[in-house]
Copies of this chain bind each other. A is one copy, B any other.
């Protein structure tokens, strides 16, 4: 294909079309079977709607949003997103699986606080009396206490004589000084500590380094709020139900082990097996519930990706890997794989853990279990930094998927390997943006990865912290920041999330078949929407 000779525009336009097709040939929406007539209508309708909303809802004036545009900073644009019809359509789309989210950050912050408030064992404190001037900087600390340790005397958090003592969360809320907003002021204070707000992400903490400080601080809070069994199991149940409502039919959830969860007595710790038993029970209950509603097509369970923090000393990893194997033997259907987590820019690189990670394979052989690596790697905009180099190690260690792979586009050979070996990339668009790897979706490498033919799944990472439960928001941001990606590409992403899950081939077939049925219905509903819109015009 070359051009230097062309003079006729008809010939030129033909070659142009060929070149464009050639350039896009690796995309999932180009490789798939031809669209059905309904898919064609739905695709065109959503493209038209996207253009309309870009020039209406996204072009309106908003007092608190200086520069609205589709694909803009999520925390600022969220309130506009939920006004759009595209958001409402996407919320009904069957989205396949969530393959990259962290257990402790998958809920709704306000709901989590609600669960905490129901438990008399839950207490709160802070380092100094709260005042109007320090409430934005003094952080709450939570603790589950055994009954015998409930405080006998109580000083309120807002009392000038308050001295870092525990107080029941419920009481602290009820008696929260009206000058600080009373109970609602209490909620605002706690939720601000549990989440990242726009003034932090795009103002005071507007670098990767600074936002990770805030991000890290929220995790400490969730751990204390969630790791108490009555809260833990209800929290889990709710986020699974909410995922189902968002069109998600399966999850692989990253979870640190040992997962230190307090038993009902508020004193003793659950064993890892007890955690898995609860996990299993909750999932089975939900499956039964779904079945009783005739909705068994909509949910197929969840598995855990056991993780360790990439801060632990190398010698501590082997015992964890042994534990991982023991758990896999007991709960083979509940364990999807193993991963190391934490801020790649500042924590140990994968290479640091090389010896135990190489040994892990041998240990698995001996134990006759298989626990694939599902490594975070390249969650960085560094070029040749250790975090970027993690991509080499993840690949060499045989990872089945790559968590984030934000810097993957820089690596021609690794792109090739990921395509050949079908290593799927777990892309977390909103997470990357809030954590300042990219300033808006337009600067995200995702469109390049789509075009280069990588196998992509989309995920939410830590939705508690940015208020994006489910996958609708992530799908939305991806759809509206590209002219190329339409609903068909998102459908392929959803399919790939099943295909590249750690389900068995038979399970995948079942889930995919159910997904296809739901997809066809979804497309039908979009076509109906199109007809209604047309008849109104």
Please tell me if the beta carbons of B16 and A413 are within 8 angstroms of each other in the complex: no
Chain B nearest CB from A508 CB (Å) reads 22
Q: B383–A481 contact, CB under 8 A?
A: yes
> Cβ of A414 < 8 Å from any Cβ of B?
yes
Are A411 and B23 touching (Cβ within 8 A)?
yes
Question: In the complex, what residues of B have CB within 8 A of residue A362's CB?
Answer: 7
Tell yes or no: A206 within 8 A of B by CB: yes
Of the stretches A120-128, A439-447, A499-507, the one at the interface is A439-447
- Tell me which residues from 427 to 466 in chain A have a Cβ below 8 Å from any Cβ of chain B: 437-439, 442-443, 445, 447-448, 451-453
- Are the CB atoms of A410 and B448 closer together than 8 Å? yes
In the complex, what's the smallest C-beta–C-beta distance from A90 to chain B, in angstroms? Answer: 18
Let me know if B448 and A409 touch, CB within 8 A.
yes
Across the interface, do A443 and B7 meet the contact criterion of CB distance under 8 Å? no
Interface size on A, residues (CB 8 A): 65
CB distance from A364 to the nearest CB of B (A): 12
A209 contacts which chain B residues (CB < 8 A)?
A: 69
Flag if B355 contacts A395 (CB, 8 Å). no
Indicate if A291 sits at the interface (CB-CB under 8 A): no
A37 at the A/B interface (Cβ < 8 Å)? Answer: no
Is the Cβ of B443 less than 8 Å from the Cβ of A393? no
A383 near B482: Cβ-Cβ < 8 Å: yes
Contact A384 B482 (CB under 8 A): yes
Of B4, B26, B447, which is within 8 A of A383 by CB? B447
Closest residue to A27 on the B side, CB-wise? B412
Contact across chains for A3 and B443 when beta carbons are under 8 A apart: no
> How distant is the Cα of A445 from the Cα of B445 in the complex, in angstroms?
9
Mark contacts of A355-375 with chain B using CB atoms, 8 A cut-off: 1 yes-contact digit, 0 otherwise: 100110110000000000000
Interface centre among A361, A413, A452 (most CB of B within 10 A): A413
- Please determine whether B16 and A355 come into contact, CB atoms closer than 8 angstroms: no
Q: Is the CB of A383 within 8 A of B485?
A: yes
CA distance A392 to B21 in the complex (A): 11
Measured between alpha carbons, how far is A131 from B515 in the docked complex, in Å?
66
* A20 is an interface residue with CB less than 8 A from chain B: yes
In the complex, chain B residues whose CB is within 8 Å of the CB of A445 = 409, 448
Q: Contact between A26 and B412 (Cβ–Cβ < 8 Å)?
A: yes
Q: A4-B398, A67-B207 are in contact. Are A9 and B392 (CB under 8 A)?
A: no
Would you call B442 and A381 a contact (CB within 8 A)?
A: yes
Kindly provide the distance from the CB of A72 to the nearest chain B CB, expressed in whole angstroms: 8
A263 at interface, CB cutoff 8 A: no
Contact indicator A358/B414 (Cβ below 8 Å):
no
How many Å from the CB of A487 to the closest CB on chain B? Answer: 15
Kindly list chain B residues whose C-beta atoms are within 8 Å of the C-beta of A413: 19, 22-23, 25
Q: Who on chain B is nearest to A442 by CB?
A: B381
* A206 partner, pick from B9, B67, B412, beta carbons under 8 A: B67
Least CB distance, A345 to chain B, in whole angstroms: 11
Please tell me if A354 contacts chain B, counting CB pairs below 8 Å. yes
B207/A361 in contact, CB under 8 A = no
User: Is the Cβ of A392 less than 8 Å from the Cβ of B16?
Assistant: yes
A301 vs B325: C-alpha distance in the bound complex, in angstroms? 70
Complex CA distance for A384 and B207, rounded to whole angstroms: 29
A11-60 residues at the B interface, CB under 8 angstroms: 12, 15-16, 19-20, 22-23, 25-26
A349 to B327, CA, bound (A): 59
Residues of B within 8 A of A388 (CB): 483
What is the bound-complex CA distance between A207 and B19, given in angstroms? 31
Task: Name the B residues within 8 Å of A282 (CB-CB).
Answer: none
Q: In the complex, A512→B311 CA distance in Å? A: 50
Q: How far is the CA of A359 from the CA of B397 in the complex (A)?
A: 56
Q: Is A181 an interface residue (CB 8 A)?
A: no
Out of B3, B8, B481, B485, which one reaches A397, CB within 8 Å? B3
Say whether A358 contacts B12, CB under 8 Å.
Answer: yes
CA distance A438 to B442 in the complex (A): 9
A332 neighbours in B (Cβ, 8 Å): none
Contact among B67, B69, B439 with A443 in the assembled complex (CB-CB below 8 Å): B439
Contacts A6-B396, A69-B207, A384-B483 known; list 20 others, CB within 8 Å.
Answer: A3-B395, A3-B397, A6-B358, A7-B359, A9-B354, A16-B392, A16-B396, A19-B413, A20-B392, A23-B411, A66-B206, A67-B206, A381-B442, A381-B443, A383-B485, A388-B483, A411-B451, A412-B451, A438-B443, A439-B439
26 sample A-B contacts, Cβ–Cβ < 8 Å, listed by A number:
A3-B398, A6-B396, A7-B361, A9-B355, A12-B396, A15-B396, A16-B351, A20-B389, A20-B392, A23-B414, A26-B412, A67-B206, A69-B207, A69-B209, A381-B442, A381-B443, A382-B483, A384-B482, A384-B483, A384-B485, A411-B451, A438-B443, A439-B439, A443-B443, A445-B448, A448-B448
CB within 8 Å of B: which residues of A? Answer: 3-4, 6-9, 12, 15-16, 19-20, 22-23, 25-26, 66-67, 69, 204, 206-207, 209-210, 351, 354-355, 358-359, 361-362, 381-385, 388-389, 392-393, 395-398, 409-414, 437-439, 442-443, 445, 447-448, 451-453, 481-485
